[in-house]
Amino acid sequence: MRRLFATGELRDMSRMATPNAVFAVRLAAHADEIRAARALRHQVFCVEQALFTSDVDAIDDHAITLVAMPAHGREVIGTVRIYQAEAGLWFGSRLAVAPPWRRRAGLGPALIRSAVETAQARGCQRFLAHVQAGNVALFESLNWQALETCLLHGMPHCLMQAPLCRAARRAESLLAVTADL
């Protein structure tokens, strides 16, 4: 279940089961959560994949950070950043999930959906992401469309577009549901 808050924030309030755990996806609430999200990104993109020495860049100055946290914990177990590149055009990037949570509990898809829906609540008309080749199938399972392939940071990627019309209908239904609360 998701709720749209007055701030335009869309929170994934689902109780996604893992062995003994659930999570929520939301906007990073303070600097400590942003630091924890960047530490997870560093682990994934700099240590595991060796794509960068530091994955922090100028986009971080204006990006919105979403975090996933277990319902009964304070550690960041997943993150994604979103940003507006130009009026109506938004990008998602630096999707990272902690190793114990990968391919379990639907955390990656929840982060992806929340990223698109959060951008759409802020006026997004087109949402794109450069997706690593190994993750294209995940995005396609969420009805994303592949636009073109490219090489970024020495690794094959695919520029993909989110299906906003479906997200728009879901956001509209969420508004109707929360209006009844």
Residue pair 74/26 in contact by the 8 Å Cβ criterion: no
Number of domains in the chain: 1
pTM above 0.85, yes or no: no
Domain assignment of residue 125, given as a range: 2-179
Band (pLDDT 50/70/90 cuts) for residue 172 is low
- Find the angle CA(48)-CA(140)-CA(7) to the nearest 5 degrees: 80
Dump pLDDT digits (tens) for 49-87.
999 999 999 999 999 999 999 988 889 999 999 999 999
pLDDT value of residue 53: 92
* Backbone torsions φ then ψ of 138, nearest 5 degrees: -60, -50
Mean pLDDT of 31-56: 95
pLDDT(122) > 90: yes
Band (pLDDT 50/70/90 cuts) for residue 175 is very low
- C-alpha–C-alpha distance, residues 152 and 169, integer Å: 33
Dump pLDDT digits (tens) for 9-19.
444 444 443 44
pLDDT value of residue 166: 56
pLDDT(4) > 70: no
Average predicted confidence (pLDDT) for the chain: 84
pLDDT(179) > 50: no
Q: At what angle do helices 164-179 and 107-121 cross, to 10 degrees?
A: 80
- C-alpha–C-alpha distance, residues 78 and 76, integer Å: 6
Dump pLDDT digits (tens) for 146-157.
999 999 989 999
pLDDT value of residue 43: 96
pLDDT(21) > 60: no
Q: Which two tokens stand for residue 174?
A: 């969420």
49 DSSP 8-state letter: S
Q: Is 57 helix (H, G, I), strand (E, B) or coil?
A: coil
Pairing of the two strands 78-86 and 64-70 = antiparallel
Q: CA 8 → CA 3, 11, 77, 109, distances in Å?
A: 10, 10, 23, 20
Higher-confidence residue of 126 and 167: namely 126
Residue pair 133/155 in contact by the 8 Å Cβ criterion: yes
CATH of the domain at 117: 3.40.630.30
